[in-house]
Structure formats: C-alpha cells, structure tokens
Structure 1
Amino acid sequence: WLRLSPPPPGAASVRGGGARCGSLRASGSSASPFLCLPQMLPLLCALLLGLGPAHAAPAGHEVTFLPGLPKQPSFRHFSGHLCIGPTQRLHYWFVEAQNNPQSSPLVLWLNGGPGCSSMEGFLKEHGPFLVQPDGVTLKYNDYAWNKIANMLYLESPAGVGFSYSEDKKYATNDTEVAHNNYLALKEFLRLFPEYSKNDLFLTGESYGGIYIPTLAEWVMQDPSLNLKGIAVGNGLSSYEINDNSLVYFAYYHGLLGTQLWKDLQTFCCSEGKCNFHDNSNLNCTLKIVEESGLNIYNLYAPCAGGVPGSMRYEGDYLVTHDLGNSFIRMPMRFSWRQVTRNKVRMDPPCTNSTAPTMYLNSPEVRKALHISPDAPEWQVCSFEVNRSYKRLYTQMNDQYLKLLGAMKYRILVYNGDVDMACNFLGDEWFVDSLCQKVQVARRPWLYSEGGENQIGGFVKEFTNIAFLTVKGAGHMVPTDQPLAAFTMFSRFIKNEPY
C-alpha cells in the first residue's frame, strides 16, 4: 500500500542502539511463553545484549502449532519481537525454506505505506499460508516464495501491525526507519546466527521503493552481511516521475477523454515536457485520476465494497481511505480534532482486509505467534504512523547508483502493468534515468503454465539491473499472478535469465 505526500527536503542520519529480546520460554516447558513485561524490557534487553551472540534459533519463538491449518507444516517457522533500542519492539515472522534452508538465501520482505503491515504480504501475497475469506482457515500456497528461500517478514516501523514502542512515540522518518530496519536485521541474525552467512536479498513493495534502497545503503557497508541484491515491486522510486507518468498511463488506458487530454497538454506542458507533479496551474491536478472511482491498485479489478468515499463510520471506528489516494497534495478539509472521540482506522480503498484482520486478532493466533500483550490490535495500516511519518526523499537515484557503482549487486525493479498507485511506466522511466548500459533489449519473458509457455510480461536488462513487467497484475503482483510472480522471483534469486 502506498500514500504519497510531498516530502520535506533534506535527510539526516539517525543512529541508535540495538538489543536482543522477545518471547522467552523455559527449556522443556509447555507453558505459555514468558513475555517481557514493560518495566523489565529495557533491563532484559541490556542484559541479553551483553551475553554475546546466540548459537541457535530461539526455541521460544518457534511456532509449534498454528491455528487454521489443515496440517502443520514440515518446515519450521518462528514469530516474536525484536528489541530495537530501549523502547521499540518490532514483530517478525520467519519461515524457513521448504528445502535445504541451510543453503537457501535469506530474503527480507517489507510492505509499504508508510504504515502498512508485511503480514499482508505473508497472508495474501507470497507467504506459505494464505488466509481464506472466513478469517479463520489458512490454505497452503502452491507458489510460496519460501519454496526456494528463507523468508523474513518484518512489521516496520514501530506502530505497524504487532510492532510497538514502549513510549508510544510513533513519529518517524525515512532515515530513522532505514537504520532501525538495519538494526532489526542484525538482531534477527543474532538470534538466528546459522543464517548470517547465507546470501541475503532485500525485497519490498510500494513504499518499499523507499525502504529497500535506503536499508541497502546500511547493509552494503556491513561486511558481515552477505548482500547479493534487492528487488522492488511496484515501488515508489521518484515522486515526480510517478506523478508525471500516471497521466500518460491514464490516457492510454482510456480513462481520459480526448478533449481533456488536449486541455492537459495546453495547461501542463511546454516545449514537449509536461508537469503534473508540482504545477502551480490548478488545472494540472491528478484528482482526475484519483477521483475516478476505479481501483487504483488494479485498474481492471472490481472495487471491493463498492466505490469508497473518503471516509465512513463503522461501529466505533472512523474509517478513512485517504491512504489509497496516493497523489493528494491538498490539505485535509477537516480538523482531526473533530474526530478524536472515535478511533481512526486506515484502509486502502477497493481492498478487503477483513480476513487477515480477523485471523491475526484471534487470541489463539496471537498466542501461537508469541505476540506480546502490550502489542496493539492488528490493523493492515496504521493511521497514526502514516499521519506522522516524515518523507525525506523525493527520489532514489542516489541509492540505486551507489548500489550499481559497487558492481556486485543485482537489482530487479518489477511492476504489475495495471497498477495505478505506482504505475509501470513511471518505474520504467526511473530505471531508464539511471543511464546504465543496455545488455538485453526489451523483450517478452515467458513462464510455463499447464505445460504451455505464456508471456509473463516484458523485461529490459541493463548492467546489474533489470526492469520487468508482469502482465495482468496490479499493485500486489503475487496476489494477481502468483505463478508468474514465483517464476520471476526464482529467476532473480538464482541469477537465471528472465
């Protein structure tokens, strides 16, 4: 999920400490895991930090029974909280590779927002278990990414999903999140040292287009981490390019009439260049696309729940869909003080998060995943985190060029071709703007389905970076085209031709 708003200029590096903590279980005990009490957490984290590296995966974090499954898995999986500094507790869910986990790569996955949970990626995109519409049962995923990789799903930043902070302070920014994600990765490897030498890939979606390259800047400076590459799906790479490309996407997909297109050319373009990003002319607004009533995450999919208004009341909650209006630049038309008596929930428009919300908030599931009683009720996106988040970067050119300049990392930028939140044309323009040498001209790529080759989309390969589209997929590529997405992921991980 993604919400864009104008980021303030500048970025400052934020440093912090790390610690090791989480759900601990006494050896041989079948009792509920001992969860760190608020008054004990800072002391316990400090004590554990002084113990030095662990020597095996933490038994207290292993998920031994997961409700809703027809049969428990043959592979191991773990869930718990990672202590980041004195107050932050980031929730992770780690699933070992179904075959040869010792030699399989370690892949970190981050969903976007900012403020949305990576459990959405786990339970609805490419995790080993997919939540069913009843919100109770899980189904095994035939195209789970952990068939070939050890998958680490991290809920970040604090305040998202089951991640929280003891001091309840959830205001953060791009550089702080990048550093905290690096600390979380280091803490995870302190708990799971057996994976510290495995090939490492950083992957994400949507606002992960900011999270992943900024995290990679930290990781590439750490020689103890075996970083091999990054992959970003339907990512925000440049506000300006994303905005300017959207209008072209909309017109050539039949969303704008000929007269409106001519007017936009008149008002918003000069000397062959158009500006729909920060044009002072009010005629050059992206509201023509935002307010179309279409599903911005998949142009050709129906809008779950009907075409949404900007907000509605649902029980004790005020539900706002503002997160999905990815291009709003105007101030909100009302004061949030007027609604503070109601809890605010933020749902991406035209999507249905009822099933994962029901499942993850089940007391039995929370217990199985070793979720601290101090962790909040799970929601797909955090209104508080999103509202207070400071965006410090307008584009990712510097981060990509730094990775490419090292000449040892491979990069995949992939897009479902019917997504309007982060459209394929914008990310293609962005990759082109990096001015890397073309190795393979744009061509169709194929995957096998039912014994027959099908066109999965199109790919253009440069030195150490590829841009790839997935035909018929929206913002969440593995949800819409699971087999094509798995094929793409497998070829990226194994460094095979697309």
Structure 2
Amino acid sequence: MISSLLSRSLLLVLCCALRNRLIRTLIGVQATQLGTPTPGTLRYVRNSGVCETTPQVFQASGYADLTATDSMWFWFFAARTNSTNVPLVIWLNGGPGTSSMLGLFQENGPCRISSDGTSLSLNPYSWNSVANMLYIDQPIGTGFSHGDETVNGAKQAAKNVWQMLQIFLKDPSFSYLQSNEFGIWTEAYGGHYGPAFATYFLSQNQAIQKGSIQGITLNLKTLGIGNGLTDPLSQYPSYLTYSQSNPYKPTATSAQVAKSSTMFYQSGGCQALIQSCYKAVGISSQSSACSNAWSVCNNQYLPPLSQGIDQYDIRSTANIFPPAIDGFLRNSTLLSQIGAETNFSSQSATVFAEFESTGDWMLNSAPDLASVITNGNHIRVLIYAGDADFLFNYIGVESMASVANLTTKINKSFNKTKFTDFFVDGVKAGQVKQSANLAYLRVYGAGEEVPAYGWQNLKPGQAALQFFNYTINDHSLSRGFSKNEIGVMGILISLVMVIYCSMTVFGFMF
C-alpha cells in the first residue's frame, strides 16, 4: 500500500513537471488520400499530429473496409507508456447513431475541445495514459463511417464491429495487440451495445476455438458501461423518483410527477407496453410492440418530468457542456489531415430512425449482461453513472444492476454488499459497491459524459481515469484514500524512512 502511494505520488510529480513540455501546437500535415476501399483491409493516416501531441506516441486514423462500399471509421491512440503490454480498449458512444468522436474530444481522449469549439489542448487524464485506445464510429452511417448497409439493432451492430476488429488486428501495424487484454467501454445506448457486443465476441471466440470459423480471439477482460440503458422495465420507473429526489434540484412539480406516474402504471401505460415488448421478443410482433413502447414512453411519459432542463446534466437549462465538436470536425483541412472521407455529424438521424423502427431501445439487455458477468473468464464489469444525468439516471442504473433478473450468485452477493466511499486524491468522488467481478459506481457531480466532468478539487476526467485504470488492472475501486488517510499515510511513510535511515547509520539491516 505504501509503495503504491509512493509510486502514485512520484507519477503525479513527473506528470506535473512534464506537462508543459508535452504540449505543443498542431503541426501542418499535407492532405491525404486513402485510396480505393479494399474489403478486409485498413486505410489510414499515421501520426497526423492532430489531438495526441505527446512525443513518440503513435496514432492512426482512417477506415476498416468491411465491403467495397461500407467503411467503418476508427481513430487509434497507442498508450503513452508500455503500449505493447497494456490492454486494447474500444470506446463506443451511444445514440444510437452517436459518433465516438464525442468520447474522444469531449471525454477521455488524448485531447479536449476548447470551450468555444475551435481548438484542442492536451488531456493529462486521457485513457491512453494506461491503455491503447480505439475509438470507433458505428454502425455504418455514424460520424465519419459511410456505406450502404442498414443496421437497426445492437446485436446486428455487434457483428460489424467484430468484423472491423478482425481487420484491424490482422494489420501489421496492430497485430502486436492480438494477445493483449481487451476491453469494451461505452455509455448511454452502450447499455445495449456493451452486453450485446461482449456476448457476441465471446460466442465468436468459442466458434474459433472449436474450429467452426477462422479468426482472432478477443481476450475480453473488461466491460465498462456509463449511464447505460440496459433494462427499460427496471430503469423507467426511476424517472419518477429522480425527478423529485436527485442531489441537485427537482425537475418536475408534484402534479407533473403524479401525471406521469398515472401514465406509467395505468392499464396500457408505459410499464405495460414495455412488458409487451419483452414478451414479443423473437416473434413477428416484436418490432411493432417495442417501437410502440418507445413512442409512448419517450413522447408521453418522460417529457413532463424533464421540462426546462438539460437531460444530460440537470444543473443546466441547455445542452451547452461539453462543448460541441461538429464545427471543428467539418474543417476541410483537418479532414484531409486525418483521412476522413465524409462530412461529419455527431448524431445520425438516419441510424437513430432505423433503431427506432425496430424498437431496439426497449429490449432487455440484462440477460446478456448477466451472461458476461458469469462467464468463466472473470470479465470485470463496471457499471458507473454520473449523478447529474437525467436521461439514464443513476437511480435507474443502480436498480438495473440490482434487479432479480440478474439472477447470479455474484448478483445476490452484490445486492448484500454495502456502499463505500470512492476517493480520488483524498476527495470523496462517489460511492461504490463491488462483489467479485461486478462493481457499481455512482460518480458525484458528473453528467452523462462522466469523463468530461470534474468534482470539487478534481480536474475534468481525473476521477474517470482512476476508475478506468483500477478496473483494467483488476484493483478494487475502494482502494483510494481520504484526505485524513493520506495524511496518516504520509506520517507513516516518514516514520518508516526515519527508522530505516537510523538502522542504516547504526549498521543494522532489515
């Protein structure tokens, strides 16, 4: 414990000392043409000089060509240290149809967009400080990805991303990562993406091992889901509670809550429609039942509970933070530098409409999540939630993590576990409960895009980097120290050093 604290302190000192030296202005890069798509291969720009400005850290941006017409955009950043040994982690924003460039530039990437959306600065709390990060725009039609294929559900999307990863890991520049630990980290609609992708990847691993298909096994070890929608039936009642009992301010009057409560619980109401959706899975009426539940619940039940607020951060009345990235990523010079081939939009209305048409939003992904938790490979699962987010609020996320349909031995033990404080550099940054390989973390002072936020004396992304780092390295999230504990540890370290020096002076050895 003492050596861990010393190492951490030394790292902070070194980071502070080197920070200004690492920040430099963007360098000019000639326009790049990636050439004609070739199915099953990558086309990309190496070291564009955009975003990651840490010297000698490799980056690549471009496309994995799934077919002659379907190209999936990626942006890879090698870890700032020890890139050959640390995990490969993919980051997926939600939506559906939301570009993962939001995660890159607003949350956990090597750079952050400025408040006016016109420039970038180095992010000292980037997740590529401890892992190789791969940001993917998916499904096709999202962000910089382009093509003809239509995807209308998370399970279908999983197949394309698996194909993309096979292409990526076969490329000579990235094949060294094939045996590294692998992680899926995502948010919001990632409550569906994460479980669906993890389950599919594991099934593909089994097929490869049996010899029924050829491919590269993915050494899946972590799944992280932030403010995710996973089980609508257990999460949608939480809006009634959160609108009145969140840590910040009411989002609805008592009359509005009563109106929505009636709409949820009445015969034929939102709850009944979600139940009908669940029962229709696998039969011909699935799409109509689930899309009907989506329409009624999201257009009639929710609006009275969230009027006049930013649903992603209820402390604001408008969606002004994190800063928008669309204008920055529509600069033609920048697009040439990074190899992008299409105009950028952070949200694809077309992709969203495809998912809406099937009602994929209202499907229950909790069984897939349970299968990942109970998989024999000890996959570490972190469910985390910023407590200022209304849309997929922490009360609903916590309920999802605790409900009976996650009927596993781990879950039963998890439900009996008490919350403990989550400390980051002496600051109480949240509450955590953890049992075996399942953990749930409520993050104080964060909206839906948790890594974009700071809390008290913590910088934006500081708490997120700690819970990410602890999870991928299989450490307990309650491992941090309070301010008083840090003070006591400092005294103990000093005493140990005094005793050691005294023993050395008098010729004694430990």
TM bucket, shorter chain: 0.7 to 0.9
Q: Structure 1 residues 441, 294: closer, same or farther in 2, change over 3 A? A: same
Shift of 1:447: 2.7
Shift of 1:257: 3.4
Q: Structure 1 residues 87, 293: closer, same or farther in 2, change over 3 A? A: same
Any conservation in 1 of the 2:57–2:77 contact (CA below 8 Å)?
Answer: yes
Question: 1:82, 1:60 → 2: CA distance?
Answer: 8
Q: Structure 1 residues 274, 31: closer, same or farther in 2, change over 3 A? A: closer
Residue of structure 2 aligned with 1:365, choices 314, 323, 334: 334
1:402-447 CA-to-partner distances (Å, cap 9, x unmatched) read: 1122132111100001111101111111111214132572323333
Q: Structure 1 residues 142, 260: closer, same or farther in 2, change over 3 A? A: same
Larger RCO: 1 or 2 (CA < 8 Å, sep 6+)? 1
Any conservation in 2 of the 1:110–1:205 contact (CA below 8 Å)?
Answer: yes
Q: Structure 1 residues 61, 259: closer, same or farther in 2, change over 3 A? A: closer
Q: Which residue in 1 is equivalent to 2:316? A: 301
Shift of 1:363: 1.9
Output the aligned Cα RMSD: 2.9
Which structure would you say has the larger Rg? 2
Shift of 1:357: 1.7
Any conservation in 1 of the 2:39–2:65 contact (CA below 8 Å)?
Answer: yes
Question: 2:259, 2:339 → 1: CA distance?
Answer: 57
Q: Structure 1 residues 162, 421: closer, same or farther in 2, change over 3 A? A: same
Shift of 1:59: 9.4
Alignment of 1:92-103 (within 5 A): 92-103=74-85
Matched to 2:104, the amino acid is F
Q: Which residue in 1 is equivalent to 2:344? A: 378
> 2:19 matched to 1:35?
no
> 2:88 matched to 1:106?
yes
> 2:127 matched to 1:148?
no
Question: 1:136, 1:265 → 2: CA distance?
Answer: 44
Any conservation in 2 of the 1:444–1:456 contact (CA below 8 Å)?
Answer: no
Residue of structure 2 aligned with 1:424, choices 372, 394, 405: 394
Q: Which residue in 2 is equivalent to 1:286? A: 302
Q: How many residues align?
A: 396
Q: Structure 1 residues 128, 277: closer, same or farther in 2, change over 3 A? A: farther
Matched to 1:61, the amino acid is V
Q: Structure 1 residues 31, 234: closer, same or farther in 2, change over 3 A? A: closer
1:368-396 CA-to-partner distances (Å, cap 9, x unmatched) read: 21123xxx210110111112223436111
Residue of structure 1 aligned with 2:225, choices 217, 232, 241: 232
The secondary structure found in structure 2 opposite 1:419 is: coil
Any conservation in 1 of the 2:70–2:149 contact (CA below 8 Å)?
Answer: no
Q: Structure 1 residues 418, 277: closer, same or farther in 2, change over 3 A? A: farther
The secondary structure found in structure 2 opposite 1:364 is: helix
> 2:413 matched to 1:438?
yes
The secondary structure found in structure 2 opposite 1:92 is: strand
Any conservation in 1 of the 2:387–2:445 contact (CA below 8 Å)?
Answer: yes
Q: Structure 1 residues 287, 188: closer, same or farther in 2, change over 3 A? A: same
Any conservation in 1 of the 2:181–2:220 contact (CA below 8 Å)?
Answer: yes
Shift of 1:263: 6.0
Question: 1:463, 1:277 → 2: CA distance?
Answer: 35
Q: Which residue in 2 is equivalent to 1:53? A: none
Q: Which residue in 2 is equivalent to 1:467? A: 440
The secondary structure found in structure 2 opposite 1:484 is: helix
1:458-491 CA-to-partner distances (Å, cap 9, x unmatched) read: 1122332111110111101001131111111111
Q: Which residue in 2 is equivalent to 1:61? A: 45
Q: Which residue in 2 is equivalent to 1:177? A: 157
Residue of structure 2 aligned with 1:188, choices 168, 184, 193: 168
Residue of structure 1 aligned with 2:367, choices 398, 419, 431: 398
Question: 1:139, 1:244 → 2: CA distance?
Answer: 40
1:274-311 CA-to-partner distances (Å, cap 9, x unmatched) read: 94975999998222114x1101101113414xxxxxxx
Q: Structure 1 residues 128, 252: closer, same or farther in 2, change over 3 A? A: same
Q: Structure 1 residues 353, 385: closer, same or farther in 2, change over 3 A? A: farther
Any conservation in 2 of the 1:97–1:149 contact (CA below 8 Å)?
Answer: yes
The secondary structure found in structure 2 opposite 1:431 is: helix
Structure 2, gaps ≥5 residues long: 1-28, 210-216, 276-292, 455-460, 478-510
Question: 2:140, 2:43 → 1: CA distance?
Answer: 24
Q: Structure 1 residues 84, 267: closer, same or farther in 2, change over 3 A? A: closer
Alignment of 1:236-385 (within 5 A): 236-253=229-246, 254-261=250-257, 269=265, 275=271, 285-290=301-306, 292-304=307-319, 354=324, 356-372=325-341, 376-385=342-351
Any conservation in 1 of the 2:77–2:132 contact (CA below 8 Å)?
Answer: yes
Q: Which residue in 1 is equivalent to 2:462? A: 483
The secondary structure found in structure 2 opposite 1:91 is: strand
Structure 1, gaps ≥5 residues long: 1-29, 49-57, 305-349
Q: TM-score, normalised by structure 1?
A: 0.73
Any conservation in 2 of the 1:99–1:147 contact (CA below 8 Å)?
Answer: yes
Shift of 1:213: 1.1
Q: Structure 1 residues 179, 252: closer, same or farther in 2, change over 3 A? A: same
Alignment of 1:85-96 (within 5 A): 85-96=67-78
1:124-175 CA-to-partner distances (Å, cap 9, x unmatched) read: 101001121344421001111110000000000111111000xx45453322
Question: 2:62, 2:263 → 1: CA distance?
Answer: 53
Matched to 2:353, the amino acid is R
The secondary structure found in structure 2 opposite 1:220 is: helix
Matched to 1:179, the amino acid is K
Question: 1:486, 1:134 → 2: CA distance?
Answer: 24
Question: 1:138, 1:177 → 2: CA distance?
Answer: 31
Q: Which residue in 1 is equivalent to 2:39? A: 45
Question: 2:120, 2:398 → 1: CA distance?
Answer: 36
Question: 2:262, 2:97 → 1: CA distance?
Answer: 38
Shift of 1:360: 1.5
**Structure holding more helix per residue:** 2
Any conservation in 1 of the 2:387–2:443 contact (CA below 8 Å)?
Answer: yes
